[in-house]
A and B are shown apart, each in its own frame.
Chain A
Amino acid sequence: MHLGVEEALLLRQADHSQSPERAELQDVLRSALGRISEEYRAVVVLRLVEGYSVSETADLLQIPMGTVASRLSRAQRELQQYLKPILNN
C-alpha cells in the first residue's frame, strides 16, 4: 500500500479510527519509531507527536536547543528510510 500524507490525513479526518488502513499506517510509524535510538525517539516523540517546540523540548530533555535540532535532523533522515512507503516521493 502506498498512501501519501494527504490520504493519511483524509483517513484521520474521516475518523476511520478503527480502519485497517489507519491501523496499518500506525504500525508503520510505530515500527519506524522503534528502530531509531532512544535519544532520537525522545526528541521525535516530543517534537513531532506531542508538538513541543524546540525550546520546550530542550528544556524538558535538559539539552541545548542545537542538540534538539541536530538529533531531530538525524532522526528524520533515519525515519525517512523506514517511512518511504507512506511519505511522498
Chain B
Amino acid sequence: MSQNKYTEEEARLLAHRSLDEPLSADEQVLLAEAFTSFPDLREEVERLREMGQLFAQLRPEPSAHFAQRVVMALPGPLAWYRPLVRRWSAVAAAACIALLLALSFIYVNSGTLDAEAILGLEDIWVEDVYAFE
C-alpha cells in the first residue's frame, strides 16, 4: 500500500476528472495504476458514468427550474449570469460571428464603418425624398 504514488483521494479526483476531459498520457498511466491500487474506483467511475447519462437525459429536477435556482443561489458576485453563460454561450458566439460578418459586408461595400454606412443612409440625399412623387 505504501507503494502507491497517489492517495485514494488524489486517485478519486483523477478518476472523476477523466469523466470531464481526456487525460494526458501520463495521467492515463496514473489512472490505470490507481484502478489497480483501488479496485472499487473503477466501479465507481462506471457507476457515475451510468448515473450521469441517466440524470442528464431525464433531468429530474426536484421542481421546475431547480437547477437554475441552485446555481443562482451559489456564492460569488457573478453567480447570476453563470447559467446564462453556460446555456447561451453557443448562441452568443453565433451572434458575434454574424455581427462580424455583417460589419465586414458593410465595410467591403462601403469602404467605411460610419454610422451612416451601417444604417444604410450614406447614399440617400434630400432629393431622394421627391424621387417617387
**If A60-B74, A69-B16 touch, does A49 touch B61 (CB 8 Å cutoff)?**
yes
Residues of B within 8 A of A (CB): 9-10, 12-13, 15-17, 20-21, 44, 47-48, 50-62, 66-67, 70-71, 74-76, 79, 82, 86
CB distance from B22 to the nearest CB of A (A): 12
In the complex, how many residue pairs between chain A and chain B have their CB atoms under 8 Å apart?
106
Chain B residues with CB under 8 A of A47: 52
CB distance from B129 to the nearest CB of A (A): 55
Chain A residues with CB under 8 A of B71: 46, 50, 60
Main secondary structure of the interface of B (DSSP, over half): helix
Q: Identify which of B9, B60, B76 contacts A29 (C-beta below 8 A).
A: B60
How many residues from A make CB contacts under 8 Å with B? 43
Do residues B16 and A68 form an inter-chain contact, with CB atoms below 8 A?
Answer: yes
